[in-house]
Amino acid sequence: MNRFFCKSPQIVEDTLIITDRDKVSHIRKVLCLRPKEELVVFDSNGIEYHCIIESFAKGVTLRIKNKILSVKNIHQLSLSIACAIPKNAKFDDIVDKLTQLGADRIIPLISHRVVVKLDRAKAEERLKRWRKIAESASQQSQRNKVAVIEPVTKFDEIFKLDKGFDLKLIPTLTGLRKPLKEIISEVTCTHKVLVLIGPEGDFTEREVEIAKNSGFIPVSLGDLVLRVDTAAIAIAAALHLGTVLKTG
């Protein structure tokens, strides 16, 4: 069934109205839905509204059949990934894939070796696009909440955000590292995990030391050197699968 995210839906008794132009256009012109057809709306609190389309008089007017507090993903770990922004438009794909893999928070990261330069206007423009991609990917993958996309963040500022995590990882290519499979064997669905993904050329030695001093564990993703987007997707998939297998 088609799903749509509305941060704060307009609800009066058993009627819900969607007024967002993009969503209205998608429902009418792309999906070609008609009155009496069903769809699901979910909000920022994880509440799902199972609805029937009544009319298109004021956007999309829906009659609520029932509403439930979704419990999807309640047994999955809480995963935040701060990922260095790669060249070209690959961060769009990173947001899309990490959202589908259940990441709760994605942080576009600027570290020393990141070559992408974004002024304030470009950063805000990209952030808007990434948030739309996360919303679309959340709907497509039937998540009960949309992944949070943070503003572009400099490496040294990450450590202001790293409070409250049970496990903090920094994959790197050099130095003493733990194998990822060893880490996964220790992770449970109750963990809150933060992962830093470096740029082409890896983090600098200084950055790794700063992270270690802040409680991050250096890890190895294996013998192969992965691109930024591949590394982010690989570790998210491994952590997600590891906890899913443990919970059955």
Question: Which CATH number is 78-247 given?
Answer: 3.40.1280.10
Q: What is the pLDDT of residues 144-189, one digit of tens each?
A: 788 999 999 999 999 988 778 989 999 999 889 999 888 888 777 6
Q: How far apart are CA 112 and CA 104, in angstroms?
A: 25
The residues that bridge with 49 in the sheet, in sequence order, are 41, 67
Which phi and psi angles does 156 have, rounded to 5°? -65, -20
- The per-residue pLDDT for 248 is 53
Q: What is the pLDDT of residues 221-235, one digit of tens each?
A: 988 889 999 999 999
* 104: Cα within 13 Å, side-chain hemisphere: 16
Q: Topology of domain 3-69, per CATH?
A: Ribosomal Protein L25; Chain P (2.40.240)
Q: Which residues of the chain have pLDDT under 50?
A: 74-75
Q: Where in the chain is the domain with CATH 2.40.240.20?
A: 3-69
Only one residue has tokens 């990450």, namely: 158
Strand, coil or helix: 209: helix
Extended strands (E) in the chain: 3-5, 10-12, 15-18, 38-42, 47-55, 60-69, 78-84, 105-110, 148-149, 153-154, 167-171, 178-179, 192-197, 217-220
- The per-residue pLDDT for 186 is 77
Reported as type and span, the H/E element at residue 246 is helix 228-247
- The per-residue pLDDT for 75 is 47
* 171: Cα within 13 Å, side-chain hemisphere: 31
Q: Where in the chain is the domain with CATH 3.40.1280.10?
A: 78-247
Q: What is the DSSP string of 13-46?
A: TTEEEE--HHHHHIIIIIS---TT-EEEEE-TTS
Strand, coil or helix: 234: helix
Percentage of residues in the chain having pLDDT higher than 70: 93
118 exposure class (CB count in 10 Å sphere: 0-12, 13-18, 19+)? middle
- The per-residue pLDDT for 83 is 97
Which phi and psi angles does 79 have, rounded to 5°? -120, 125
- The per-residue pLDDT for 190 is 66
Q: How far apart are CA 226 and CA 81, in angstroms?
A: 16
